[in-house]
């Protein structure tokens, strides 16, 4: 049988015009330049790709049908798939035209049937989840693209997240970018397959719903700072490091001066203030959590994290997305990739 809903058209609206969706957005040489932050006028520009889970599952269905029932049955299934895409693409176009004309129920076709619901999928995993959350530079652009195309009445977003955390500024900015989806009225689900700790969990707390796999590591709500002090070694070598400051606390703990008790206490006070902001954010997002019990820097495995109220359900991101497809939704994975840089 035909797997899931057979739709692939993605209607992106730029400047009031319809922008047809496909497996990959057309070359950006022919499209308006994306926002800055990727080298300005450099010729190598990022490309936005949108891939359909629905189509991928249909490919699997065709392959298994051919292997188990033969080429004739596979051809029949292919015909159904193509007809399904054609019909549902027409509904998307009709819905877009109806909305443009200002008709009541702009997200519905001329026959009054609601356009298919969509799930936009983002990823913050391998290659993006480093100490400084450098992947936020791509994530912000992907979020902008989704907000430009999505309709709160029919769309929601899933972020596949795996991160052990890192800097306050990097992961704080990543969380702020995710809040833009909420501000746009889009429901956000965050799916954690391996780890969401410290700043990674801060990102997760922006979600309406958090799921994780049974053995994912969750939590680490705390703040840490580590600093090598080489003052004594420099002193033995006859090296004196001189720093001039204006402001009592412009420098407290540094590797190059002898720390005082006052320096240590001021640094500890600053860390506590950061933790207080972290705790308040988690508590606001998940008010049922006993914040004093979980804000200890500890981590919990999936089922124990659920007991603590840190996550809502136990399942993998793959199971979640397959459920959406089986529920008749378009599942569209959005990714921005940097174009290869010439070594010349």
pLDDT single digits (tens) 127-181: 788 888 989 999 999 999 999 999 999 999 999 999 999 999 999 999 999 999 9
Alpha helices (runs of H) in the chain, residue ranges in sequence order: 53-69, 71-100, 136-149, 168-183, 199-204, 231-236, 261-285, 291-294, 302-307, 317-326
Position 344 scores a pLDDT of 60
Tell me the CA end-to-end span of the chain in Å, nearest whole number: 51
Set 71, 101, 248, 250: catalytic member: 250
For position 103, what pLDDT does the model report?
56
Helix, strand or coil for residue 260?
coil
Q: Dump pLDDT digits (tens) for 302-325.
A: 999 999 999 999 999 999 999 999
Per DSSP, helices labelled H in 286-328 are 291-294, 302-307, 317-326
- Report the pLDDT averaged over residues 185-200: 97
pLDDT of residue 44: 63
Helix (H, G, I), strand (E, B) or coil at 80: helix
Residue 28 has pLDDT above 80, yes or no: no
Instruction: Give the helix/strand (H/E) hosting 47.
Output: strand 47-52
Report d(CA 191, CA 200) in Å as an integer. 12
Can you give the pLDDT at residue 69?
93
pLDDT for the residue 209: 97
Give the separation between CA 331 and CA 52, rounded to whole angstroms.
6
Residue of 198, 213, 220, 317 marked catalytic: 198
CB of 109 within 8 A of CB of 115?
A: yes
Residue 186 DSSP code = -
Decide if pLDDT at 37 tops 60: no
The angle subtended at Cα 84 by Cα 80 and Cα 85, nearest 5°, is 120
Annotated catalytic residue 71: no
* Average pLDDT of the segment spanning 12-33: 39
β-bridge mates for residue 191, sequence order: 160, 211
For the entire predicted model, the pTM comes to: 0.79
Hey, which residues does 24 pair with through a beta bridge?
49
Q: Is 198 annotated in the active site?
A: yes
**Residues 65-73, mean pLDDT to the nearest whole number:** 93
């Amino acid at each position: 049988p035909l797997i899931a809903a057979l739709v692939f058209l993605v209607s992106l609206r730029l400047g009031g015009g319809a922008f047809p969706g496909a497996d990959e957005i057309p070359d950006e040489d022919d499209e308006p330049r994306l926002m800055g932050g990727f080298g300005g006028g450099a010729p190598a520009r990022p490309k936005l790709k949108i891939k359909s889970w629905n189509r991928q599952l249909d490919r699997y269905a065709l392959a298994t049908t051919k292997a188990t029932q033969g080429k004739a049955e596979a051809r029949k299934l292919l015909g159904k798939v193509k007809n399904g895409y054609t019909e549902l693409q027409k509904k998307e176009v009709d819905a877009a035209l109806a909305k443009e004309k200002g008709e009541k129920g702009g997200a519905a076709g001329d026959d009054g049937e609601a356009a298919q619901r969509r799930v936009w999928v983002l990823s913050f995993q391998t290659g993006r989840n480093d100490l400084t959350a450098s992947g936020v530079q791509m994530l912000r652009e992907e979020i902008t693209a989704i907000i430009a195309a999505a309709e709160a009445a029919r769309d929601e977003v899933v972020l596949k997240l795996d991160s052990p955390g890192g800097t306050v500024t990097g992961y704080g900015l990543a969380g702020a970018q995710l809040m833009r989806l909420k501000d746009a009225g889009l429901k956000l689900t965050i799916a954690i397959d391996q780890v969401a700790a410290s700043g990674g969990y801060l990102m997760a707390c922006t979600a309406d719903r958090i799921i994780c796999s049974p053995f994912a590591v969750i939590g680490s709500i705390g703040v840490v700072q580590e600093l090598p002090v080489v003052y004594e070694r420099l002193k033995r070598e006859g090296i004196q490091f001189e720093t001039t400051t204006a402001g009592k606390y412009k420098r407290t703990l540094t590797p190059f001066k002898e720390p005082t008790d006052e320096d240590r206490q001021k640094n500890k006070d600053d860390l506590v203030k950061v933790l207080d902001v972290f705790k308040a954010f988690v508590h606001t997002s998940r008010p049922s959590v006993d914040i004093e019990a979980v804000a200890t820097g500890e981590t919990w495995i999936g089922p124990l994290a659920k007991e603590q109220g840190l996550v809502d359900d136990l399942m993998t991101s793959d199971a979640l997305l397959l459920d959406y497809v089986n529920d008749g939704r378009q599942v569209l994975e959005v990714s921005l990739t940097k174009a290869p840089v010439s070594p010349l």
